[in-house]
Amino acid sequence: MKRVAILISGGGSNMVALARSMTGDHPARPCLVLSNDPEAGGLARAAAMGIPTAAVDHRPFGGDRAAFEAELSRMLEEAAPDIIALAGFMRILTPAFTEGWRGRMLNIHPSLLPKYRGLHTHARAIAAGDAEAGCTVHEVTAELDGGPILGQARVPVLPGDTPETLAGLVLEQEHRLYPETLRRFAAGDRRRLDLTP
Ligand code: GRF
């Protein structure tokens, strides 16, 4: 059975979807939910599901990413995960950290990568007049939002869509895509998964 640490910064809806999926014949179980914000709403949701939680507030470290990550790594070592799933974790990790977890760390991003790395993905897709948007699960490397793609899910961009309405539609697909991709990844299956609505 694989152990999965889930890193969050906010409400944790993807974390909940992942944790709920890791039951029965799933090859993995959550061993820790860790946040860079002690006030993140997702911590209470994880605790309510009986998952161990922890927080490393990044703010006292100022710009010292290495010191922040050293504390993050100390917490992770205690939980001894086989896999890290970034789920709305909004801190950029250094190459030293990502190299240490290469091939064992996933992330979900709310666009059809390689389009729209970074922030404000839905507003950028609408501004560009794209016919479709979506989300991507990829392996994490030192290249921000640039690692090998493991899965994608698409949604049509409809007339009148706003970044908020599109974010809601894409989030629904994230909650389908990430659990299924994690299940395959934990079983050693790295074949690409493409979901349609
Ligand atoms: C998701 O849209 C995810 O793709 C992005 O941040 C959002 C986090 O949402 N990186 P939640 O905290 O999982 O609800």
Tell me what pLDDT residue 196 has. 79
Tell me what pLDDT residue 50 has. 98
pLDDT along the chain (197 residues), means of 10: 98 98 98 98 98 98 96 98 98 97 98 98 98 98 97 97 98 98 98 91
Q: Is 175 a catalytic residue?
A: no
Contacts for 16-25 with beta carbons within 8 Å, 24 or more apart?
16/42, 16/45, 16/46, 16/49, 17/174, 17/175, 17/178, 17/179, 18/85, 18/87, 18/178, 18/179, 18/182, 19/46, 19/49, 19/51, 20/49, 20/179, 21/179, 21/180, 21/182, 21/183, 22/179, 22/182
Q: Of the residues 9, 43, 174, 176, which should be mutated to test ligand 1's pocket, given the most ligand atoms within 8 Å of the CB?
A: 174
Nearest CA to ligand 1 atom 7: 88
User: Which residue segments constitute the domains of the chain, with CATH numbers given?
Assistant: 1-101 (3.40.50.170), 107-197 (3.40.50.170)
By C-alpha distance, which of 8, 143, 170 is closest to 85?
8
Please answer whether residues 76 and 89 qualify as being in contact, where contact means their C-beta atoms are separated by less than 8 angstroms.
no
Tell me what pLDDT residue 63 has. 87
Tell me what pLDDT residue 4 has. 98
CA–centroid distance, residue 117 to ligand 1 (Å): 14
Q: Of the residues 91, 140, 171, which should be mutated to test ligand 1's pocket, given the most ligand atoms within 8 Å of the CB?
A: 171
Tell me what pLDDT residue 197 has. 73
Residue ranges in 62-190 assigned as alpha helix (H): 65-79, 95-100, 121-127, 163-186
Q: Indicate which residue of 26, 58, 109, 122 is catalytic.
A: 109
Global pTM value: 0.97
Distance between CA atoms of residues 4 and 79, nearest Å: 9
